[in-house]
Structure 1
Amino acid sequence: MKLKYLISVLAAGSLLLSGTSAFAAAENIIINGQTAQIPADMGSIKELDDRTFVPIRFIMENLGCQVDFIDDTKMAVISSISCTYLIQEGNQTLFVLPDQYEKTENIPMDTAAFIEEVELDGQTYGRMYVPIRFLAQAIGYEVGWDEATQTVTLTMAK
């Protein structure tokens, strides 16, 4: 009886380990045909509620935007050529502030950004994660998903 239990535990453990390594190996994003690997100190791809989340600084800087973070309000300020975007932890709205005299737009999201704390070199840092499909489409990118390779593809919309 104990032997069956031990074999079951070992088999379950090996399945968990193989699933983890398969996911960890698939942390790729292709942006306009170029593979963009997320550096380990910037975070990783997260799956939550059937959504793919990525670290906001990594993805937005790779899409040509500047990202600043306001600690007090837990809000990211994303600056592109034509707009400024605001996204806040726990808030399901993307605020779009056009650079010209256009009307401010609030775009509802079906999920909220979240912050994950990580420790690097004895310091604690926060990493804001955002739903990649929603945010990339909001700034004008087409988003694809390759199930076989678990790869997200972003291409500037024409």
Structure 2
Amino acid sequence: MKKLLTMLMLAVMVVTMAVTPAFAVIDIIPGNGGEGVNTTKPDPNFQWEEGGNSAQKPTNPPAVNNTIKIFVNGRQVTADVPAFVDSANRTQAPFRAIGEALGCQVTWVNETQKVICQKEGFKVEMTIGKKTFTVNGVNKTMDTAPLIKNNRTFIPVRALGEALNCNVNWDQANNTVYITSK
């Protein structure tokens, strides 16, 4: 009976290993609470070798949802264009949607390519393409700049949120920005 159970368990293990797709495996570094999850993206130029195990070739890899969601004080912000991550690895969001969700009066000054966000004792001014901005007349610096994309003005979410004295948190696992007033 022991032999039969051992052989049955071995057979199940072999079958399970043969049908498990290679793309479903993740590396976890033991002892650090799962922070060592390998999140590297697959190489889009990778070519499967001919003659390899066809059971390991993903025919329809799982879809990846890269949509960035933004919540301001618990309410999701909706805009007519999506937020995105820029080359400096910062979330850029449509200026008017974020500014208004934060309770600000928003203004676009076409002549100077400047956006102004005003709210209860705060005045934030940012200029397209410039990493310097002002908060109540005081110069500040950010590591990225506002920009225009698809005829829309985008601003760095963290810079604006923190300039308005809000907490700004990024949830990597869910592609979500949380902005909360202090």
> TM-score, normalised on structure 1?
0.71
Report the alpha carbon displacement of residue 136 of structure 1 after superposing the two structures with TM: 0.3
Counterpart for residue 90 of structure 1: 129
Query: In the alignment, which of 136, 140, 145 is matched to residue 112 of structure 1?
Result: 145
Counterpart CA distance in 1 for 2:158 and 2:135 is 16
Q: State the number of aligned residues.
A: 126
Counterpart for residue 63 of structure 2: 18
The answer to whether residue 101 in structure 2 is matched with residue 76 in structure 1 is: no
Q: How does 1:1-158 map to 2 (within 5 A)?
A: 18-19=63-64, 22-24=65-67, 27-36=68-77, 38-39=78-79, 41=80, 43-48=81-86, 49-97=88-136, 104-116=137-149, 118=150, 126-157=151-182
Aligned-partner SS, 1:44: coil
Report the alpha carbon displacement of residue 84 of structure 1 after superposing the two structures with TM: 1.8
Spell out, residue by residue over 1:34-60, the C-alpha distance to the aligned partner (whole angstroms, 9 max, x if none).
Answer: 222x23x2x211111211111111101
More strand by share: 1
Structure 1 residue runs of 4 or more that deviate by more than 4 Å after TM superposition: none
Report the alpha carbon displacement of residue 80 of structure 1 after superposing the two structures with TM: 1.0
List alignment gaps of at least 5 residues for structure 2: 1-46, 48-56
Counterpart CA distance in 1 for 2:107 and 2:118 is 8
List alignment gaps of at least 5 residues for structure 1: 1-7, 98-103, 119-125
Report the alpha carbon displacement of residue 94 of structure 1 after superposing the two structures with TM: 1.4
- Report percent identity of matched pairs: 30
Letter in 1 for 2:89: D
Letter in 1 for 2:132: T
